[in-house]
Amino acid sequence: MSTIIAPNPYLPRIATIKEITVENEARDIKTFQIVLDEDHGGFDFSCGQFAMLSVQGVGESPIGIASSPLDRDFLEFTVKRYPTGLLTSALHDLEDGDSLRVRGPYGRPYPMEEMEGKNVVIVGGGFAVTTLRSTIKYLLDKSNRSRYGDITVIYGARNPGELIYKQELKRWEEMDGLAMHITVDRGDENWKGREGFVPAVLKEVAPSSENAFVLVCGPPIMLKFTMVPLRELGFGPDRIITSLERRMSCGVGKCGRCNVGQKYVCKDGPVFTYQEVQELAEGIF
Ligand SMILES: Cc1cc2nc3c(=O)[nH]c(=O)nc-3n(C[C@H](O)[C@H](O)[C@H](O)COP(=O)(O)OP(=O)(O)OC[C@H]3O[C@@H](n4cnc5c(N)ncnc54)[C@H](O)[C@@H]3O)c2cc1C
Ligand code: FES
């Protein structure tokens, strides 16, 4: 009789860094493109999921997957370094060719199948747009584009130096079939684009809520003020999809570190509808 051994969800796989992109002027946000070492198998995931990244001897943290699930040859993670953050500082000290460990993917993804045939509005603020970038790349892929309706993106940062994915933003701005609205809270002498907070720009752009889903990620204060125009535009709480961040340890619903009310963000989330967020606990945002 043969015994089937379940894969160990805690087992990290080894990966090598292929490319590091510095995303912003402050140099505290970098995108790491990594490739799993040969005998470490594939890494199938869906938009909105995260992985646990670790540097040996330092620690481990959850990081959203920023590449598209259709990019089969590599994974990308965009990481902000916190001066006192052990893992993010260690990651930022790594160079091309160095190795790190990755386990996952974990968590509930965005409802990509439910969104088929619908218009998609994407609202992002700050550097919390990583999994939204994964989603935009997935939606824009030739193999997927006809399965979704109009795509509207509203993305804001505090100032031009804090905008990330600049090359891609430029490409997306020039693309047909994608309405891009980039804004900064305050421009500088070189900034010729839009100025204004994300909720105000959303109000001005006023994407239709008819047959549409909206995905929204950003700092809690942005989320709080973005919900008001979204509701005014007629987006129902079950059509507003967001992602929560909590401190995590196991990433698989076992340790209880990441609970909000009765739910574990690592397993039941990180993606939740606004309706679910409201039911979980009052005042999350
Ligand atoms: C599902 C999920 C997805 C995530 N995706 C990303 C991602 O794509 N990129 C990314 O950079 N991070 C992401 N995070 C956040 C990241 O996991 C945390 O910032 C993590 O704590 C960093 O680990 P660390 O060891 O460097 O810092 P820690 O040692 O855990 O923290 C050190 C100190 O840094 C500060 N700090 C840490 N995190 C935050 C924060 N979020 N806001 C403000 N101050 C903070 C605090 O002062 C903290 O005491 C995600 C978190 C979750 C739950
Ligand atoms: S991180 Fe352990 S239960 Fe969520």
pLDDT, tens digit (0-9, with 9 covering 90-100), for 51-107 = 999 998 999 999 999 999 999 899 999 999 998 999 999 999 999 999 999 999 999
Q: What does the pLDDT read at residue 282?
A: 72
Q: Which one of 249, 260, 262, 268 would you pick to mutate in the ligand 2 pocket, going by the greatest count of ligand atoms within 8 A of its CB?
A: 249
- What pLDDT does residue 284 have? 75
For position 148, what pLDDT does the model report? 97
Residue 41 clears pLDDT 90, i.e. is over it: no
Cβ partners under 8 Å of residue 84, min gap 6: none
Atom number of ligand 2 nearest to Cα 256? 3
127 forms bridges with which residues in the sheet?
Answer: none
Ligand 2 pocket mutation, candidates 50, 245, 252, criterion most atoms within 8 A of CB: 252
Question: Can you tell me the mean pLDDT for 128-153?
Answer: 95
- The CA 251 to ligand 2 mean position distance, Å, reads 5
User: What is the reported pLDDT for 176?
Assistant: 87
Atom of ligand 2 nearest to the CA of 251: 1
Pocket test for ligand 2, best of 50, 103, 260, 266 (most atoms within 8 A of CB): 266
Q: Which residues line ligand 2 (CB under 6 A)?
A: 248-251, 253-258, 264, 266
Alpha-carbon span 225 to 54, nearest angstrom: 34
**Model pLDDT for residues 188-213, shown as the tens digit of each residue:** 999 999 999 999 999 999 999 999 99
The minimum-distance atom of ligand 2 relative to the CA of 266 is 4
Check whether 251 has a pLDDT greater than 60: yes
pTM: 0.94
Length of the chain: 285
Give the Å distances, CA to CA, from 86 to 6, 52, 97, 159, 198: 31, 14, 21, 27, 31
247 Cα to the center of ligand 2, angstroms: 8
> In 3D, which of 166, 161, 157 has the Cα closest to residue 198?
157
At 247, which amino acid appears? Answer: R
Residue having the nearest C-alpha atom to atom 45 of ligand 1: 82
Distance between Cα 53 and ligand 2 center (Å):
15
